[in-house]
């Protein structure tokens, strides 16, 4: 078992950028282990938001005055920065939404309603977040398409033999989570994209848990669509990203209408703005987009390979500490050395909600519930699980604090 701190990051230096981590509750210093739900935001990003509102605040693409021009340039540059961060070809392929869920819905409504019909198939996996599962489920109901689910095996991996059988010439869309927010499984999304393309199907990758934690190159994956959220990667809430291959976005019709996304409007008809603006109706997420670009800078300065190594080290350390300390603990997902930066678990017969409440008494913040994966939890035969998820500012000492708090929990329910 790894017992030393990861040596790839200067964690104590990084923690200085996150003053919220100095908060105390009941005399205990906060141990924030709910990063899969939302990460904390460094001073650099907070300062970027404040600076925008103090010095540049204006609507974009609407005014000829100086503030509007400055805001427009900064907002457009933010698209370029995000494109570079995930390996897209350019800003035309980067649509700003309000979160991963809205990115999913944008494709489901703008592409799915037009392209799907009876006899068509949508292939998901049993570990999908509700953002994908519910969205495609409801689109299938509207269009008459069928939804199929690639099984998850007992270790938390996708059954790839089943995937190869289920993805057929009737498949129009394969939608897969890159990293499971419940299991920590890192899925072979590039292989799934290849299988989809062999059958002339498209592939949508949910990157909400991958972009914050590892280097991502959408062209290398060959995803047709890819989505993620700013608030899980040191950015602000209220902004998500939809990547789409340019030719697909060009062919798609928008499903939100109004200002900014139009080119010409008459009483009889309208035409659409160029990419990506035709999918960003109304006043867009200006401050959030500019701040997201700063978050990309912040993470790149740390190095995404270093971010990945540190998170995986903490997950392995936590997995090993939990299994060595508790005889009656169930950890969901793959082995310790083959998972992303989270560990979901159940401690004996203690309900996950009770576990979370007791941990909160020790100022240890974890998530409890089904993590927006109810069908997966149903398959696993559990109502809920507790989840400890890690990021760049977490330490092995904080994992030890988690274990100590769980020991008190176990004693309380003995």
**225 & 310 share domain:** no
pTM for this entry: 0.97
**154 & 271 share domain:** yes
Structure tokens at 92: 């035309």
Query: 368 in a domain, yes or no?
Result: yes
Domain that holds residue 406: 11-32+304-412
How far is it, in rounded angstroms, from Cα 64 to Cα 58? 11
DSSP 5: P
CA nearest to 285, candidates 241, 246, 333, 339: 241
How far is it, in rounded angstroms, from Cα 257 to Cα 172? 26
Looking at the chain, how many residues does it have?
414
**259 & 277 share domain:** yes
For residues 65 and 173, the answer to whether their CB atoms sit within 8 Å is no
**207 & 335 share domain:** no
DSSP 311: H
Query: 39 in a domain, yes or no?
Result: no
**294 & 311 share domain:** no
Query: 3 in a domain, yes or no?
Result: no
Structure tokens at 281: 């109706």
**234 & 367 share domain:** no
Q: Give alpha helix (H) positions in 65-159.
A: 66-86, 100-107, 113-115, 130-143
Other CB atoms closer than 10 Å to residue 141's CB: what's the count? 10
CATH number at residue 65: 3.40.640.10
Query: 40 in a domain, yes or no?
Result: no
**92 & 198 share domain:** yes
Query: For each successive 10 residues of the chain (414 residues), what is the average pLDDT?
Result: 65 98 97 98 98 97 94 98 98 98 98 98 98 98 98 97 98 98 98 98 98 98 98 98 98 95 96 97 97 98 98 98 98 97 97 98 98 98 98 98 98 90
**225 & 279 share domain:** yes
Cα atoms in the 13 Å half-sphere on the side-chain side of 183: 29
- The domain boundary residue, chosen from 301, 325, 360: 301
Task: Give 176-214 pLDDT, tens digit per residue.
Answer: 999 999 999 999 999 999 999 999 999 999 999 999 999
Three-state SS string over 212-223 comes to CCCCCCHHHHCC
Burial class (CB in 10 A: 0-12, 13-18, 19+), 295: buried
**372 & 342 share domain:** yes
- The domain boundary residue, chosen from 270, 301, 332: 301
Query: 248 in a domain, yes or no?
Result: yes
**197 & 308 share domain:** no
For the chain, how many structural domains are there in total? 2
How far is it, in rounded angstroms, from Cα 148 to Cα 124? 6
In three-state secondary structure terms, 64 is coil
For residues 213 and 311, the answer to whether their CB atoms sit within 8 Å is yes
Which one is catalytic: 203, 234, 296, 372?
372
Structure tokens at 40: 């904390």
Helix (H) and strand (E) counts in the chain: 15, 17
**The pLDDT value given to residue 6:** 64
For residues 383 and 370, the answer to whether their CB atoms sit within 8 Å is yes
CA nearest to 202, candidates 122, 118, 275: 122
CATH number at residue 376: 3.90.1150.10
Query: 60 in a domain, yes or no?
Result: yes
CA nearest to 262, candidates 281, 276, 249: 281
**The pLDDT value given to residue 48:** 98
Asked if omega into 222 is within 30° of 0 (cis), the reply is: no
Q: What residues contact 195, with CB distance under 8 A and at least 6 apart?
A: 163, 164, 167, 174
**The pLDDT value given to residue 3:** 39
**Pairing between strand 367-369 and 385-389?**
antiparallel
Query: 38 in a domain, yes or no?
Result: no
* C-alpha 46, offset from chain centre: 20
Backbone angles phi, psi at 361, to 5 degrees: -65, -20
For residues 16 and 377, the answer to whether their CB atoms sit within 8 Å is no
Q: Mark whether 203 is an active-site residue.
A: no
**The pLDDT value given to residue 120:** 98
Task: Give 208-242 pLDDT, tens digit per residue.
Answer: 999 999 999 999 999 999 999 999 999 999 999 99
Q: Spell out where 151-230 has E strands.
A: 171-177, 202-206, 225-229
**285 & 315 share domain:** no
**313 & 172 share domain:** no
**The pLDDT value given to residue 62:** 85
- The domain boundary residue, chosen from 269, 301, 333: 301
In three-state secondary structure terms, 259 is coil
Query: 290 in a domain, yes or no?
Result: yes
How far is it, in rounded angstroms, from Cα 232 to Cα 312? 16
């Amino acid at each position: 078992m790894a017992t030393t701190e990861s040596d790839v990051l200067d964690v104590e230096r990084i923690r200085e950028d996150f003053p919220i981590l100095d908060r105390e509750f009941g005399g205990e210093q906060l141990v924030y282990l709910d990063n899969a739900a939302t990460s904390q935001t460094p001073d650099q990003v907070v300062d970027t938001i404040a600076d925008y509102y103090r010095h540049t605040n204006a609507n974009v693409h609407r005014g000829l005055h100086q503030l509007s021009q400055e805001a427009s340039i900064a907002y457009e540059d933010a698209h370029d920065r995000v494109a570079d961060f995930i390996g897209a070809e350019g800003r035309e392929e980067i649509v700003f939404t309000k979160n991963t869920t809205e990115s999913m819905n944008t494709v489901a409504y703008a592409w799915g309603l037009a392209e799907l019909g009876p006899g068509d198939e949508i292939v998901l996996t049993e570990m999908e977040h509700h953002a994908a599962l519910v969205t495609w489920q409801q689109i299938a109901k509207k269009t008459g398409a069928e939804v199929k689910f690639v099984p998850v095996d007992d270790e938390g991996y996708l059954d790839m033999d089943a995937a190869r059988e289920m993805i057929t010439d009737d498949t129009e869309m394969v939608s897969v989570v890159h990293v499971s927010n419940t299991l920590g499984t890192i899925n072979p999304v590039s292989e799934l994209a290849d299988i989809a393309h062999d059958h002339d199907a498209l592939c949508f990758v949910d990157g909400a848990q991958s972009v914050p934690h590892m280097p991502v190159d959408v062209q290398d994956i060959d995803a047709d669509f890819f989505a993620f959220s700013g608030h899980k990667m040191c950015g602000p809430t209220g902004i998500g990203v939809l990547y789409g291959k340019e030719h697909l976005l060009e062919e798609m019709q928008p499903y939100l209408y109004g200002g900014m996304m139009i080119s010409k409007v008459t009483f009889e008809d309208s035409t659409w703005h160029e990419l990506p603006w035709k999918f960003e109706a109304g006043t867009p997420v200006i401050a959030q987009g500019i701040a997201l670009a700063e978050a990309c800078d912040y993470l790149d300065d740390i190095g995404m390979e270093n971010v990945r190594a540190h998170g995986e080290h903490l997950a392995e350390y936590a997995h090993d500490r939990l299994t060595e300390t508790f005889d009656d603990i169930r950890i969901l997902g793959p082995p310790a050395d083959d998972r992303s930066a989270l560990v979901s678990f159940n401690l004996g017969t203690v309900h996950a909600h009770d576990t979370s409440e007791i941990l909160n008494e020790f100022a240890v913040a974890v998530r409890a519930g089904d993590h927006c994966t109810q069908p997966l939890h149903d398959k696993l035969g559990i109502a809920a699980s507790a989840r400890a998820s890690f990021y760049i500012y977490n330490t092995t000492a904080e994992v030890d604090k988690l274990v100590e708090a769980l020991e008190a929990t176990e004693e309380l329910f003995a």
